[in-house]
């Protein structure tokens, strides 16, 4: 019996720390914005193993007392080595942009700081190691930048790639949910035979649940909203202009080629930027937090569809490691 229990434990452990890296939010303190391609310098670019796509930020906008990057893993990540391609890995641009000279790396397992290292990088267009030691299990890594090698032309600090290794092999990276995140808000949708939304159910953490109902009569849309399972009656409905009603003046939606690519939310001096990810059928797959200057909730949003390509669920996720001592 003890042997069977041990084998089962080993199987569960191998599934928990499978040889892959899943990230739900690679959050940058700031990022460079290209008005013609808003997410051109997104932090997501650091994990595509493509030197032509980079993360970039104007160095003067960085607060060196705060992390430049906080990489949140959606499942406990196991690795023994991290490398960085610091700078724009193209001979035409490498010396023209800023490169990292000195950085601090912090690796966390839940609230536990597993390692803290100061690393001086060479000013060369080579992949350099910023962590190499015993295998570590991490739920987040944090990177501070304290000094740079100045660019000859631009004041943009560039990182081409971050890579993780285990047992001598590079680990593939994907963006998804896992054990390290907790669903805080979820929405479900029902449709009529004309593919129109007739019911939206919203559960918002401890706040409660809300039912939004829609009726369509004589080219008019009627709407009613009830909290915590209250029954809706005909007198609760009123006419609205559209089912989608987002008039928040603090929200800026950014489109490219008729696709929604980013959302920026600003309140006073605080902000966040979310990037929209699409699947092979051009449906929104997820919304990922790529930049924020304060700790906002709901850093990952998941979209689920039915066989008719109708959205059936939208789920928001945030950090769940605050409820776990250690993985």
Domain boundaries, the chain: 2-175, 181-323
- Comparing C-alpha atoms, which of 66, 33, 60, 28 is closest to residue 44? 28
Across-strand partners of 294?
none
Whole-angstrom distance, CA of residue 223 vs CA of residue 239: 6
The larger pLDDT score, comparing residue 141 to residue 9, is at 141
CB 20 within 8 A of CB 174: yes
Across-strand partners of 98?
157
Mean pLDDT of 89-115: 97
pLDDT tens per residue across span 246-271: 556 788 999 998 899 999 999 999 99
With a cut of 80, say whether residue 18 has pLDDT above it. Answer: no
User: What is the pLDDT confidence band of residue 3, given thresholds at 50, 70 and 90?
Assistant: very low
Q: What is the pLDDT of residue 234?
A: 87
Other residues' Cβ atoms within 10 Å of the Cβ of residue 175 = 19
C-alpha distances out from residue 100 to 90, 176, 196, 213, Å: 16, 29, 52, 53
pLDDT tens per residue across span 198-224: 999 999 877 789 999 999 998 899 999
Q: What is the pLDDT of residue 187?
A: 94
Whole-angstrom distance, CA of residue 122 vs CA of residue 295: 32
With a cut of 90, say whether residue 37 has pLDDT above it. Answer: yes
SS3 155: coil
Write down the mean pLDDT value for the chain. Answer: 91
Task: Give this prediction's pTM.
Answer: 0.87
Q: Which CATH superfamily is domain 2-175 in?
A: Galactose-binding domain-like (2.60.120.260)
C-alpha distances out from residue 185 to 56, 210, 300, Å: 32, 11, 11
Note the residue count of the chain. 327
CB 103 within 8 A of CB 119: yes
With a cut of 50, say whether residue 8 has pLDDT above it. Answer: no
């Amino acid at each position: 019996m003890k042997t069977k229990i041990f084998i089962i434990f080993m199987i569960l452990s191998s599934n928990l720390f499978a040889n892959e890296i899943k990230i739900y939010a690679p959050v940058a303190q700031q990022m460079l914005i290209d008005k013609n391609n808003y997410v051109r310098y997104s932090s997501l670019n650091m994990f595509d193993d493509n030197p032509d796509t980079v993360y970039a930020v104007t160095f003067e906008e960085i607060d060196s007392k705060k992390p430049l990057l906080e990489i949140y893993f959606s499942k406990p990540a196991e690795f023994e080595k991290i490398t960085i391609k610091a700078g724009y890995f193209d001979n035409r641009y490498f010396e023209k942009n800023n490169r990292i000279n000195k950085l601090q790396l912090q690796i966390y397992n839940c609230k536990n700081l597993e390692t803290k290292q100061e690393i001086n990088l060479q000013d060369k267009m080579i992949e350099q190691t910023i962590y190499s030691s015993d295998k570590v299990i991490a739920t987040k890594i944090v990177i501070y930048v304290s000094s740079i090698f100045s660019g000859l032309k631009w004041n943009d600090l560039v990182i081409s790639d971050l890579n993780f290794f285990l047992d001598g092999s590079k680990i593939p990276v994907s963006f998804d949910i896992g054990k390290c995140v907790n669903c805080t808000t979820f929405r479900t949708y029902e449709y009529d035979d004309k593919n129109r939304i007739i019911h939206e159910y919203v559960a918002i953490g401890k706040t409660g649940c809300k039912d939004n109902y829609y009726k369509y009569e004589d080219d008019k849309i009627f709407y009613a909203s009830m909290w915590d399972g209250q029954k809706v009656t005909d007198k609760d409905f009123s006419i609205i202009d559209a089912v989608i009603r987002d008039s928040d003046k603090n929200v800026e939606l950014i489109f490219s080629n008729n696709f929604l690519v980013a959302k920026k939310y600003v309140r006073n001096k605080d902000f966040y930027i979310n990037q929209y990810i699409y699947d092979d059928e051009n449906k929104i797959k997820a919304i990922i937090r790529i930049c924020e200057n304060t700790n906002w909730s709901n850093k990952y949003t998941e979209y689920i569809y039915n066989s008719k390509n109708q959205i059936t669920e939208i789920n928001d996720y945030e950090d769940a490691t605050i409820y776990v001592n250690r993985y």
